[in-house]
Amino acid sequence: MKLLLDSQISAQVATWLRKMEHDVREVRDDPALCGAEDTILVQVAWREGRVLVSASSAFARLISREGGWRPGAILLLAGDPRPRVHIQILQALLQRLPEAKLMTSLVVVEGYRARVYPLVARPPEKATPELQTRLQEPLPSPSGTLSAQTYLACPVCGCTLKPLHGCKQVCPGCGYLSSCSMD
C-alpha cells in the first residue's frame, strides 16, 4: 500500500511500514512537503494514490469538506503518541481492512477505537456498461482467456483502474471499486 506520513508520525513507524513492504513517503524527509499547508498534503496524497496517515484532527475537517478529490486517510488521534502504540494501531488496521477500503475511507482512531467513514458517498448516477445488468453468457474456455492483466477505464472519471487482489480493481482518481460478477 502507498502511504504518505505526516510529520507527527515517527520515523520508527515509517521504518516498520517499510519492513512490512509498504511504499512510504514521509513529509519530514521531503523538502517540497516539509512545512507545506495541509491542503497541499491532501492534494499530493490524492495525486500519488497514497493513504494519508496523520495525528492531526484538522485533516478530518479538510478531507470531509472536499468534493470529488479526496484521498483515503488514517487519523491517529489516540492519546498516546508513542511510536509503539501507532505501530500496534496501524498493524491492526492493515490486517482488518482491505486496501480498497482504506483508499476510499477516512479512518479516525481515538484510543483503540476506529471509526471508518466512506468517502465515496454514492454510486454514479448514470448507468455505465459495468453497472448495467449483464446478459447470461457462457464462461470462456480456459484456452481463450487472456494471460495478461486487463485494465479497465473508470466509468466515473475515466482513469485507469488499479488492480487489487483477485479480479477487483480500484480507481486512484475517484475511489470507484470494480469487481467481476463472481464476487
| DSSP per position, 39-97 | HHHHHHHHHHT-EEEES-THHHHHHHH--S----EEEE--S---HHHHHHHHHHHHHHS
Tell me what the mean pLDDT of segment 81-93 comes to. 87
Say if residue 74 is in the same domain as residue 25: yes
Distance CA 60, CA 72 (A): 11
Spatial CB neighbours of 33, under 8 Å, sequence gap ≥ 6:
27, 40, 41, 44
Domain-embedded: residue 164: yes
Q: Residue 136: pLDDT band by 50, 70, 90 thresholds?
A: very low
- pLDDT reported for residue 49: 87
Say if residue 38 is in the same domain as residue 76: yes
Spatial CB neighbours of 159, under 8 Å, sequence gap ≥ 6:
153, 171, 172, 173, 174
Say if residue 100 is in the same domain as residue 129: no
Q: Which domain holds residue 50?
A: 2-118
Please give the grid coordinates belonging to residue 180: 467481476
Say if residue 153 is in the same domain as residue 68: no
Say if residue 99 is in the same domain as residue 50: yes
Distance CA 181, CA 183 (A): 6
8 A C-beta contact, residue 75 and residue 60 = yes
Say if residue 94 is in the same domain as residue 175: no
Q: Residue 169: pLDDT band by 50, 70, 90 thresholds?
A: confident
Say if residue 63 is in the same domain as residue 93: yes
* Domains identified in the chain, total number: 2
Say if residue 96 is in the same domain as residue 52: yes
Q: Residue 166: pLDDT band by 50, 70, 90 thresholds?
A: low
Q: Higher confidence at residue 135 or residue 10?
A: 10
Tell me what the mean pLDDT of segment 85-95 comes to. 88
Domain-embedded: residue 20: yes
Say if residue 54 is in the same domain as residue 132: no
> How deeply is 120 buried, as exposed, middle or buried, from its count of CB atoms within 10 A (0-12, 13-18, 19+)?
middle
Say if residue 153 is in the same domain as residue 170: yes
Q: CA 93, 29, 11 angle in degrees (round to 5)?
A: 45
Res 134 pLDDT > 80: no
Tell me what the mean pLDDT of segment 107-118 comes to. 84
Tell me what the mean pLDDT of segment 109-138 comes to. 59
- pLDDT reported for residue 56: 87
